[in-house]
Structure 1
Amino acid sequence: MSEGTIGLVTTETRSEDAPKSCDELSGRKLLSPEAGCIAKILENCISEVEFVLTLPAFLKLNSLTCVADTELSRALQEHQTLAERLETLEGLRQESGGEQEKGSKERAQQDFKKSVKNLLRLVRARPDVISDFRLEQDMEVGESESILINELKKFHSHMVEKLLTSVSEELKQTLYKPTSSPVIPSHTMDLMNSTEEKLSAAITEKDAEISQQNIEIENLQSCLEEKNKEEAALSISGDKQHPNAKTMKMIRLEQEIDQLKTQLKSLKLEHRQAEGVILEKNEELEKDIESLLQNFDADMGALQTHLDFNEKEHEKELEELRKQEQSFSVLEVEFNQIQEKHRLEEEKRKQEMKDLVLKTKAAIYAQAWWRGYSTRKALKNKGKSKKAKKGKGKKIK
């Protein structure tokens, strides 16, 4: 990474985007020792990445104005010396390609790695020096470095949240997740569609830029080939006739070739950067789509479990209903028999009542007739006895 693209995040940006500590994320919850260790490792990793990104600025500051800390300043000087030595060995190896230079470069690389580890150790022990330096400097971080730091912070926050969630809570969230509808929510679909549209537009735009740059590269390469051919032809034809003109023209052509090579190199660099941006956006979109699909699969799984449970309950209720219907049919037959028995008994009782009424009336009629008969007979006998008494009286006179 070049020094132009590496910088520092400002204090305000760091205060907003810095990863939250374990206590801030956990609230009232506490992380286990293992989870706290994992979160601490992630925080150290983020701080080390930020320092590595600001290392060129530290080296530049150490070369211009001395750092207050003597040990840190000495370590920075040694690291800068090793970096320059490594660049020198790289250039020598490209020119000569010997085994000796290769071995020297490997040793220099090992020393360079040890120097980076030593700097990280010193920085961890001196956080005040780093914070003071960041307050003094006002530099912007490169786009790719900013993306890396933000993604690491997101990963740190996500991991702390996952570590704060117990297994039972995850199981409850999975079991009791709302499963009212298996359809993807509208806002999720809108987000996916808008993201896909933005990505397709960005890909189309970048493809057009890449195609234009490829055309420019091809034109530059063809120009270089033509210049080389012209240079070869001029060198063959004008060796003896115009040596001074040839020298001036060669210098001019070499300058043009150098300019074209510089343009070609810059275009290739822009091409790689544009391709990297497209790949990052594509990977981000694929991650979002994969996350949405996983959530959709989880929702569908929970819904299917709920439906299976409802089907089992429905089958149990149907079986219970069939049993109740069988019992009802038996009870209905018994009820009909009892009703028929009651009906027959009621008819018999009514018939007996009719017979009793008839017998009562007959008895009443018989009694009435007998009383009338007895009364008439008594009256008749009484009349006869009176007449007999009267007849006896007349005879006495």
Structure 2
Amino acid sequence: MERNEFPIMGTAGAPKKVLDPRCLNPNSIETERILSVLDETIAKLELSCLIPRLIGSLDRFADLLGPEITSTLLEYQELSKQMEHLLGTPEEEDQRSSLRLLERHLKCSVRNILRLLTAIPSLCKALKDEVWAREPAAEGFIKAFREFRSFMLERLLTSPTEEEETVQLTEDISLRVNKNTETITALQAELAAAIRTRDEEIQNKDNIIKDLKNSMQVLDECCKNKILQVKWEGEKRQKEELQASQARCATLQQDIQELEAQLKKLVLEHRASELALRKAEFEKIHAAYSKEKAELSVLMEKHAVLLQEYSQIEEERRMYEEKKQQALEKLVIMTLAATRIQAFWRGYLIRSAFKPKKKKKKNGKGKSKGKNKKEKK
């Protein structure tokens, strides 16, 4: 739904109207102001729901947000952690005052974040496109607030005639509710009768179940006798099988002893060949070890040479940096000295330019005074 289109709550079965705030009367300034306040509140709610997501992915959005907004978000995160810590500890009188103070700081932090975000509309749009979906609770709250905005718009745009129609419709609905209540009462009476009938059927079935239980008890006793007989026969058969298995075990034990004797004989025969194979394998491993040890010594020598060269390069780099720094300081001093010399020289030139003019003025005044004296004489 676009921002300028809002559903109007009407009667059941009536088509929903689409109202546009631009269709408001020019004189309804208060209505426009109320709608603008509600729209601004919805926008701030949407931005507020993005704050936890932004804090969770602050490294990703740091370049987009800028240092000021990032620092404000970090401050909000720290305040949230303090709030969670206080809420997790037992309640005390000092803790309540700390909670109230921390709550005020947290509100101020949220206002600062919203102020900084709303100052950049393009940033708000980019964040809404980038950030994932909101939490279900937050989404439900925003949806409810939008419905409240639509409801307020409907109330503001409802004329007295429409309001009378709404009242009449409400009365009609009340009459229908009364009729439905009477119908429900009649249905409840029918339901009570059906329940009584069902209870009677259940009672009959309970009696049948009791009879079946008695029959099952008799059958259970018969089964127990049968089970005892089967158990006795099983024990007898088990004893017979146990004797047969003991005889088989004795035969197998004898076979095992014969096989163990054969195994010892084979082990003695093959022990010499096994020792020869182990010796050859050991010599092979020892040769590989000696080769790798020689390679390691060569690499250690190369490492020492490279380390010495690296130290020399670092020393040369340090000396070069020191010379560069000295040259830079010297250049700064020379520049400052040249600037001061130029300033002194310009001042000298200006003073030199003004001195002859002052002398001429003084000479002119002396001559005029002499002329006046001669005229008086």
* TM-score (normalised: structure 2): 0.37
Higher RCO (CA < 8 A, seq sep 6+): 1
After TM superposition, the score normalised by the length of structure 1 is: 0.35
Point out the structure with max Rg over C-alpha: 1
